[in-house]
Amino acid sequence: MRSISRLCAIALATTPATLSAADRQDALTLLKPDAVFDGESAALHKGWAVLVRGNRIEAVGPAIVAPPEASIIPLPGTTLMPGMIEGHSHLFLHPYNEAPWDDQVLHEPLALRTARATVHARVTLMAGFTTVRDLGTEGAGYADVGLKQAIEQGIVPGPRMLVATRAIVAPGAYGPRGFEPGVVVPLGAEEAGGADLVNVVRRQIGAGADLIKVYADYRWGTGEPSRPTFTEGELKAAVEAAHSAGREVVAHASTAEGMRRAVAAGVDTIEHGDEGTPEVFAAMKAKSIGFCPTLAAGDAIARYRGWNGSAPMPKGVQEGFDALAKARKAGVAICLGGDVGVYAHGDNAREAELLVKGGMTPAEVAIAATSGNARMFGLGDRLGMVKAGMLADLVAVEGDPLSDIAAIRKVALVMKDGVLWKGPVGP
Ligand SMILES: [Zn+2]
């Protein structure tokens, strides 16, 4: 086993701070794994190598001759694949068995949450997830915009971030709850509705949102089942405002009616979808709307409540698997996005393993985690594939993830934007 400190030494030696931009632009690296998973094909390319120049993949194939100035990284026993993309993260949350969501939103200072988020960003990157779609700070305001800048400026290591900022809920429809009704308490998202909704969409975009997240349904009171929150007209107006600004819209929806309204409004992905019906998934397929079943969050919450993982599954866990099966039957594109933050950051592989348990093949899951998510999130022209011209976000894992998805837990190398953050120690 390599020691963590030696891996860190490698990482520090290759941060942007120690290499000038010009040096990095021309730096040539030849990565020599046993095989390449290109992000699209369900078959490995054995004996392929990948040449990286600066922050781009220059060449991929079986007979690449490295120029003499190239540094060569042998990666025996590994599969080299695109950097993985987490579809549903909350870098500003930490596991609910450490602190309940209410306490995180109400009692943790913003600076504490931000400091913790920098650690979450680092462990996510080191787990081979080089991009995250972070779906709301849950009360931490616009701190995701600042964290993204800190990563881009090389101040802290972390994945590329697509950020939702505060997310949008209907007034009265979100928590924390249970206070004297006349008292204003911090909320996990920004309230807006009616005519004001469109302007809140615009303000969030102006403040740095790469995408807009709306809660199409939620519990109106403690102990209630989820019910729709926004009207179809409100959702349509929000989507129109976001799309005209070039931003995708993500809908939290677990009820069939909440999902139906979100689909009718033209959102881009739906999160959770526990009570989705065959009709709703057929409508999603017809409009090419992606689905993130977030199985890992359901699994984690059930375990926090005492479930030991044995049969029978609690209702919430079973509903997630049922929704996945219905969505797949309808041909809906499945996103890999686990709602990580509910459980530990860096454990992103948990959702991948549960998707396999839910019937997807390891190859389908690996494709979803790379080119699938990249296309779904509008990044397909530069990320998600090991192909000449793409950005050099690359991960080497021990073994073959296309036959055993757990291989993505054994990360031997992480490169993001051509910068090596984790790798084998040289001679
Ligand atoms: Zn979430």
Position 352 pLDDT exceeds 70: yes
Report pLDDT for 25.
72
Would strands 217-219 and 211-215 be described as parallel, antiparallel, or unpaired? unpaired
In this structure, are residues 131 and 86 in contact, taking their beta carbons and an 8 Å threshold? yes
Distance CA 160, CA 117 (A): 14
340 Cα: distance to centroid of ligand 1 (angstroms): 8
Residue 231, token pair as written in the block: 């009207």
Whether 35 and 48 have beta carbons less than 8 Å apart is answered as yes
Cα of 246 from ligand 1 centre, angstroms: 22
How far, in Å, is the centroid of ligand 1 from the Cα of 135?
Answer: 6
Residue 89 Cα to ligand 1 midpoint, Å, equals 7
- pLDDT tops 50 at residue 16: no
Q: pLDDT tens, 51-87?
A: 999 999 999 999 898 899 999 999 999 999 999 999 9
> Measured in angstroms, how far is the CA atom of residue 337 from the centroid of ligand 1?
9
How big is the chain by its Cα radius of gyration, in Å? 21
Helix (H) or strand (E) holding 396: strand 394-398
Looking at residue 424, what is its pLDDT?
Answer: 87
Secondary structure (3-state) at 240: helix
Tell me the CA–centroid distance for residue 235 and ligand 1, in Å: 19
In this predicted structure, what is the pLDDT of residue 5?
34
Question: Are the C-beta atoms of 49 and 61 separated by less than 8 Å?
Answer: yes
CA 221 to ligand 1 centroid distance, Å: 19
Q: 225-230: long-range contacts at Cβ-Cβ below 8 A with a sequence spacing of 24 or more?
A: 225/255, 226/254, 226/255, 226/258, 227/255, 227/257, 227/258, 228/255, 228/257, 228/258, 228/261, 229/169, 229/170, 229/173, 229/258, 230/170, 230/193, 230/197, 230/261
CA of 38 to the centre of ligand 1 (A): 29
Residues 253-262 have pLDDT tens digits of 999 999 999 9
DSSP per position, 160-182: EEEE-TT-EE-TTS-SS--S-TT
Confidence of residue 318 (pLDDT cuts 50, 70, 90): very high
Q: Provide mean pLDDT across the span 94-102.
A: 98
Whether the pLDDT of residue 427 is over 80: the answer is no
Of all residues in the chain, what percent carry a pLDDT higher than 70?
94
Q: How far is the CA of 394 from the centre of ligand 1 (A)?
A: 26
Distance, CA 134 to ligand 1 centroid (Å)? Answer: 8
- The pLDDT confidence band at residue 240, using thresholds 50, 70 and 90, is very high
Q: How much distance in Å is there from the Cα of 357 to the middle of ligand 1?
A: 21
pLDDT at residue 143 above 80?
Answer: yes
pLDDT of residue 13: 39
CA of 294 to the centre of ligand 1 (A): 8
What is the model's pLDDT at position 26? Answer: 84
Residues in contact with 42: Cβ distance below 8 Å, sequence separation at least 6, in sequence order:
361, 363, 364, 367, 402
Q: What are 374's two structure tokens?
A: 């990249």
Q: What is the C-alpha separation between 337 and 344, in angstroms, rounded?
A: 13
Q: How far apart are CA 200 and CA 205, in angstroms?
A: 8
**What pLDDT does 2 receive?**
35
Cβ atoms of 248 and 298 within 8 Å: the answer is no
What is the 88 CA–ligand 1 centroid distance (Å)? 6
Centre of ligand 1 to C-alpha 175, Å, is 14
Whether 12 shows a pLDDT value over 70: the answer reads no
pLDDT of residue 251: 98
Ligand 1 center to 68 CA (angstroms) = 48
For residue 21, the model assigns a pLDDT of 55
Scan for tokens 């793409």, then name that residue: 390
Kindly give the distance from the C-alpha atom of residue 90 to the centroid of ligand 1, in angstroms, as a whole number.
Answer: 6
Whole-number Å distance, alpha carbon 110 to ligand 1 midpoint, is 19
Spell out the residues 6+ positions from residue 75 whose beta carbon is closer than 8 angstroms to its own: 31, 32, 33, 34, 396, 412, 413, 424
Q: How far, in Å, is the centroid of ligand 1 from the Cα of 339?
A: 5
Ligand 1 centre and the CA of 289: distance in Å? 18
93 CA to centre of ligand 1 in angstroms: 10
Distance from residue 58's CA to the centre of ligand 1 (Å): 36
Compute, in angstroms, the gap from residue 193 CA to the centroid of ligand 1. 20
CA gap 135, 156 in Å, rounded: 20
Determine the distance separating the centroid of ligand 1 and the alpha carbon of 338, expressed in angstroms: 8
